[in-house]
Amino acid sequence: MRNPLKTTLASLMTLALLPMAASAAYTVCAPHPGNVTATTYYSSGAFHGAVDIASGDTCGVRLVRTAVKGLLSWNVTVRTTTKACYGNGSGNQNEVKHTFANGYTFRQWHFLYDADLSKDQTCDRCAIGREGGTGNVTGPHTHLQYDKSGTNSTSWYAGTVKGEFLDLDEVIGTVG
C-alpha cells in the first residue's frame, strides 16, 4: 500500500542530502513486492541496520531488481551458484552493490544466482536473480543495506516499518 507520509519523508530526505553531498541523491524502491520483515532491529532486539523484504512466494520464484532508481553501475558478487533458500552459512550471500563517491556502499543480498542476470550490469532497476536465502538466513528475502566502513546507516529508510507491505517500486528511502 502506498504511504503518502513515507513518500513525503523520502522527498524531504532527498532535499536534505543535496547540500551535504557533491553527488546526487537516489531513491530506493522495493526490488519486489513483499512484507518488511526487519529494519533497524531484529525481533530478538539485536541490531540489524537494514531493510529486509520477503515476498512470501516459494524460494526462487520472485524476480529481484536492483533497488536504487537511476543508478546505472552495479557490481555483482556470486558466492554460490546452488539454490539456497534457508541459508548456506555466513559470508556465502550473493551480493549486488554500488559504492558512492561519498564512501557509502549500497548492498543487496541473498538472491539466487541466474546465469543470465547475476553479473556486473549497467542498467536502471535491472533484474539480478530470484529471491533466495543465500548466506546466514532463516528464509528467502532481500536484504537492503547502506553502509560506510562497516557501519550501517539507518536514516535512509525513515518511515519504513516492520510489517509494512511494499508494492514493487514503492519508495523505501533515499541514499547517495
What is the predicted pLDDT for the residue at 18?
38
Q: Taking 50 as the threshold, does the pLDDT of residue 145 lie above it?
A: yes
Tally of CA atoms within 13 A in the half-sphere of 5 that contains its CB: 4
pLDDT at 12 over 70: no
Nearest to 28 by CA among 114, 112, 143, 111: 143
Q: Which domains does the chain have, with CATH numbers?
A: 4-17+33-175 (2.70.70)
pLDDT digits (tens, 9 = 90+) for 87-138: 999 999 999 999 999 999 999 999 999 999 999 999 899 999 999 999 999 9
**13 has pLDDT over 90:** no
**What is the C-alpha separation between 119 and 129, in angstroms, rounded?**
9
pLDDT band at 19 (very low <50, low <70, confident <90, very high): very low
